[in-house]
Amino acid sequence: MEFKAKDVAHLLQGVVEGDENVMVNNVSKIEEGKPNTLAFLANPKYEHYIYTTKASVVLVNSDFQPAKPLCCTLIRVPSAYEAIAVLLKMYESMRPQPVGVEQPSFVHETVERGEGLYVGAFAYVGKGVKLGSNVKIYPQAYIGDGVKIGDNTTIYAGVKVYYGCEIGSNCTIHAGTVIGADGFGFAPSAGGYDKVAQIGNVVIEDNVEIGANACIDRATMGSTRIKKGVKLDNLIQIAHNVVVGENTVMAAQCGVAGTAKVGANCMFGGQVGIAGHISIGDGVRLAAQSGVMADVEEGKVYMGSPAFEVGAYRKAYVLFRKLPELYGQIRDLEKKFK
């Protein structure tokens, strides 16, 4: 489909600078811009590309001031990043949505089905499952007995949802993720370790997105809970009885150990590790590869392993980098005194 720049601007409540009738039929990255495509500039580090891009239209923030002449048409919006997200979501929604039950697949006769259901080939949907409207279950997914899935939720290929787990509405679970596998519970015994039965479940609330190959373990008792609006990247491990607060986001390879409590609106960089049985307050930010061993108060920013407050860490790191030099100076002083 083709749109004029003025139509895109109207949609985004933006302002056009340049040819308002120029046509676009696709999107592109600003550094790889092609004629008749729309790009965006949100990060100032990429500003130099806007002077050479071949993209016909570029979304920019309202306060952007070009340092050189431009060959493209601009659409000024309050936030270019948010605007491109809106456009991409609309583009995604225009794709045809699959409907129906493909064969071969297995859907138990007791399954409650909403309208618009799709079950892909080689998928398994077990006894007593409840599926809302417009649920999409892609090929080779496994939905265990008694699972509940809300409206407009998508389960991509190869996802495994163990028995008794609950997934809310408007969720997306990406390929290969496992929800409800046993928590890592073992009791030391004379013969080694005895397995502790994991009889709880996993509850995922509305508007949650979980990346590919993540693992959300079922609770020993009660529920492992992912609250509404949470976004988890690929390859994340959430252990038994963990609670992740609303609208918290975690980048790839984060791991949260058993019974830890993570607050709302937290942001974790990649490979953050959270020890078990601790509490992370609301609004906490953890830099990539932070190792958190104790409770963190609300609103704190931590980094390092073991992690501590970012200001103190940066000061300590300056000294750490100087240790070889300081050691040399101490050796010289020792020789001098001897």
Q: Is 240 designated active site?
A: yes
Q: DSSP readout, 113-154?
A: --TT-EE-TT-EE-TT-EE-TT-EE-TT-EE-TT-EE-TT-E
**Rounded to whole angstroms, how far apart are CA atoms 138 and 288?**
33
Positions of E strands within 207-323: 209-210, 215-217, 223-226, 231-232, 237-238, 243-244, 249-250, 255-256, 261-262, 267-268, 273-274, 279-280, 285-286, 291-292, 301-303, 308-309
**Rounded to whole angstroms, how far apart are CA atoms 308 and 306?**
7
- Asked whether 294 and 309 are in contact (CB, 8 A), the reply is no
91 sits in which H/E element: helix 80-93
The sign of the CA dihedral 188, 189, 190, 193 is: negative
Question: How far apart are the two ends of the chain, measured CA to CA in Å?
Answer: 83
Instruction: Considering the candidates 10, 108, 174, 240, report the single residue annotated as catalytic.
Output: 240
Cis before residue 104, ω within 30 degrees of 0?
yes
Nearest to 298 by CA among 266, 254, 273: 266
Q: Which residues are catalytic?
A: 240
